[in-house]
Amino acid sequence: MSLTLVWDGQTHLFESRAHPRGSVHHNALVVKRLQKHIHLLLIGILGAEPSGSAILKIAREADEISALEQEAVIYANQLKSIQGKYVPEFYGIYHGEVMGSPVACMLLEYCTPGARISPDERNRKIMLAACAVHAAGLMHCELLSGHNLVMSGKDIKIVDFSGAVPHRCYGATPTLHPGRGGDSSQGCRELVALERVYGVFSGAAFPAASPGFVNPFAEENVLYVLARRVVGMVMPQ
């Protein structure tokens, strides 16, 4: 696989190390700079006019290239099953030279917002995406600021896995209601912190579990059957 990239009128050739003999060759045109290392591309199969959009993430220094390669490994492995749903599609990482210096560039799906969704629905989708990343075996480590949460159609996708670390998620649950969800003292650190910002109690003071608090609707509570029966009498189904 290879990538022919046109940037400021100059043409650069990049190769995929993972698929050096792959038959897919892309050509791409850098359209505009979105952030320091992130650009918007028009991309297409070689020989045709570039017509689709993609994100180009570029690295020039040795440590940046190494970090980008590590991020590409994460997209291609841990995140493979949730690409396109909770994180962008990963199109590959390519290596080449620009003015004699090594450069690596990663191509990703360009996410664009669709119709507006309510703040509650947005928060719900943020928690679903975060839980999917954790279930995939990663802690993102930079989610609380919101900078790495992007709208894609009506969905939320999580981006930038340059700081992600391997993670086994114990006792994580999106709902931390005392007696029903996880205990915040034992739950997953990142999901607990996200739950406080984006979870079901994000619009109200976060309830602290206290020894005196009993939730009669929690199944483990001895009052659960009685509570359900009372509700059943008041609101027959």
Residues that bind Zn ion (CB under 5 A): 134, 169, 172, 188
Minimum gap (Å) between residue 163 Cβ and Zn ion: 15
**Is 27 or 173 the residue whose CB approaches Zn ion more closely?**
173
**Is 57 or 140 the residue whose CB approaches Zn ion more closely?**
140
**Is 5 or 172 the residue whose CB approaches Zn ion more closely?**
172
Minimum gap (Å) between residue 161 Cβ and Zn ion: 15
**Is 170 or 220 the residue whose CB approaches Zn ion more closely?**
170
Minimum gap (Å) between residue 96 Cβ and Zn ion: 37
**Is 72 or 169 the residue whose CB approaches Zn ion more closely?**
169
Minimum gap (Å) between residue 55 Cβ and Zn ion: 26
Whole-angstrom distance, CA of residue 80 vs CA of residue 132: 12
What is the length of the chain?
Answer: 237
Minimum gap (Å) between residue 196 Cβ and Zn ion: 14
